[in-house]
Amino acid sequence: MHRPAYRDTFKLLLAFAERTIGKSPTELALNDFTAELILAFLDHLERDRGNSSRSRNARLSAVRVFLKYAAHQDLTALAVIERSLAIPQKRTDKPVLGYLTRPEVEAIIGAPDGGTWAGRRDRALFAFLYNTGARVSEAIGLRVGDVILEVAPVAHLRGKGRKRRSVPLWKETAKTLRQWLDHLSDREPDAFLFPNSSGGRISRSNVTQRLKLAVEAASRGIPSLAKKTISPHTFRHTTAMHLLQSGVDITVIALWLGHEDPNTTHIYMEADLAMKEAALSRLHPVDSAGVRYRPPDKLMAFLQSL
């Protein structure tokens, strides 16, 4: 949580406490932050301010950080603080993970006008995002020297914390990038691989805008695209899901995406399982009730004659 969020949480909490127990912020003591007060504050956020469960949980997390610190400063309030720290987070529904089908991805990549400089760049960029599962920040910061397109094509990405990882490129992606390089005026190693029209770093908002245009064009042929919320990050989810569905091990996908914690990648396993369960629910179960065998009359007569 960012500092402004902590600040806003305590502005709301202190104002609520003043209205509820009649003490100004300067008069409050740690023993005043009872579980009852904090629970009432959380209910107020949802009922009166219309906050979602996620916002409520974020406010509670901020209060918990403060109380954990305060517990080391005033042991006389430890019993009250422990009760307040026991307040649980509220369960929330996880958002459905959005990803694209293979035909949808191909339609988006092929949608930009290949007869224009910007269209060729967009095709190369979208193909790159799908191949690598790169974050948009990694893609727009990529330099010409960061990709090797001969023999064993590979892209060297700089991820979070400036950590580097290498991702293999498919032959088709390498071919698309080679064709794109032919149209770059500046092919020096330090030049941006996907620049804006003036050769500088393309912005996130520009990538989002260009993708929106491509989706609108592609949806004329594939109507399902018009019903989906698609951002540059959707390519990353799509790459992970397609790798998982192709049988690639989850630990390899974590390395592919640059996840520090492999547990982060398990959201794709959960999404894949949910999709399979939904498909299974549409099937009619086989009637497994046993049927008692009844031998024909001739068989019975033969057995009785033995």
Catalytic residue IDs: 135, 160, 233, 236, 259, 268
Residue corresponding to tokens 């402004």 = 4
Distance CA(217)–CA(278), nearest Å, equals 30
Distance CA(217)–CA(119), nearest Å, equals 12
Dihedral angle, C-alpha 105, 257, 95, 110, nearest 10 °: -10
Taking each helix axis from N to C end, the angle separating 35-47 and 53-71, rounded to the nearest 10 degrees, works out to 160
- Pairing, β 164-168 against β 147-148: unpaired
Q: How many CA atoms lie within 13 A of 273 on its CB side?
A: 5
**Of 107, 100, 103, whose CA–CA distance to 218 is shortest?**
107
Asked if residues 221 and 107 have their Cβ atoms less than 8 Å apart, the reply is: yes
**Of 60, 42, 63, whose CA–CA distance to 51 is shortest?**
42
Question: Distances from the Cα of 193 to the Cαs of 108, 200, 214, in angstroms?
Answer: 20, 10, 20
Distance CA(299)–CA(303), nearest Å, equals 6
